[in-house]
Structure 1
Amino acid sequence: MVQISVDDWDLFQSLNQDPEVISLCFDEPSPEAIKESFESRLPVWSNSSEHWLCLTMTLTETGEKIGVTGFRIVDGSAEVGYLILPQYHGRGFGTESLKALIAWASKEQGITSFGAVVTEGNIGSEKVLTKSGFSLTKVVPEAYEIGGKLYADHVYSYENIVS
């Protein structure tokens, strides 16, 4: 995994427009909002940054980029997120990348508190989180609207005790 670069625009745009990827994450953003989101992730990241650390997931065998993963620091905790191209859903790449991200963030950045918010019904993302050691800590009813429908937010957390 490496930090996103200007060369990753097509991947980022596709991930933010594909109905299969975003259906239980958010409404399709405008082209301008996607571009703004992409550009906000391009500056070099450090643990004092306010923007997302956005890393591309790459298949070792082929070099093909299949998604993004990363986090941003909010009140001392890393809020994690990930988007993966549909043809790679259910193949363990989300879990593998999230576990690697947590290990790196804990060891290299001293981050031990992680969180994630998943929209009700996004079973795939919930499986990734639980396989990565996260626990469901709160359900917030009717917290998020997608396509005119209100969904509950499922709030997950993970504390990595580094010894």
Structure 2
Amino acid sequence: MKIETKRLKMEVITENDWALFLQLHSNPEVISLCFDKPDVEVVRDKFESRLVPWNMDSSSWLCFVIFNKQSGNAIGITGFTVENNVAEVGYLLLPEFYSNGYGSESLAGLLDWAESVQEINAYKAVVTEGNIGSEKVLLKCGFQLDRIIPDAYEIGGKLFADHVYSRDDKVT
């Protein structure tokens, strides 16, 4: 499974991607509006769960590493898990690649692939209040804000609302 866009290529995560995965889950700038810094063992368990072969009926995440085609450098991860015919998408990028349109480009590529190859046509995403960059990515990719759940998630001892977005095949 590989996905390509104009500037990016995405390949299924492998054991060789552990350092990137750990960096994405421990960098304070990346996780500040996502979750508290987890123990390395928790990150390792999460990583291992992403290595399990994926199919539409599995409960695991399908995880892709995002690479810049020109440099070959890994810039982040993206993927989804499917429950009740709805794919929940997620993505994390290294801070040095913020504000280059890579989040939107990689998500659009993932959605195009999921629709054409996996025939998925309904999506959701949950974003922590204040994560404006992620919300912009979702809006650019045709998602709409469905609801806000106040005080749904705690990061650093502070409660944040969850912003729940959705997209289906009726959205252009």
* TM value normalised by structure 2: 0.92
Cα distance in 2, alignment partners of residues 75 and 118 from structure 1? 20
Q: Does structure 1 residue 46 correspond to structure 2 residue 33? A: no
- Report the CA distance between 1:52 and its aligned residue: 0.3
- Report the CA distance between 1:161 and its aligned residue: 4.5
| Structure 1: runs of 5+ lacking an equivalent | none
Name the count of aligned residue pairs: 162
Query: Which residue matches 1:5?
Result: 14
CA offsets per residue over residues 21-50 of structure 1, 9 Å max, x none? 000000011110000000000012111111
1:49-128 equivalences in 2 (<5 Å): 49-128=58-137
Match of 2:31 among 12, 17, 22: 22
Cα distance in 1, alignment partners of residues 169 and 72 from structure 2? 30
Greater than 3 Å deviation, 4+ residue runs: none
Amino acid at match of 1:2: E
Cα distance in 2, alignment partners of residues 57 and 105 from structure 1? 16
| Structure 2: runs of 5+ lacking an equivalent | 1-9
Cα distance in 2, alignment partners of residues 63 and 134 from structure 1? 29
Cα distance in 2, alignment partners of residues 136 and 146 from structure 1? 22
Query: Which residue matches 2:147?
Result: 138
Q: Alpha carbon RMSD of aligned pairs, Å?
A: 1.0
Cα distance in 2, alignment partners of residues 17 and 108 from structure 1? 33
- Report the CA distance between 1:160 and its aligned residue: 2.1
Match of 1:32 among 18, 30, 41: 41
Cα distance in 1, alignment partners of residues 55 and 106 from structure 2? 19
- What percentage of aligned pairs have identical amino acids? 53
* TM value normalised by structure 1: 0.97
Amino acid at match of 2:165: Y
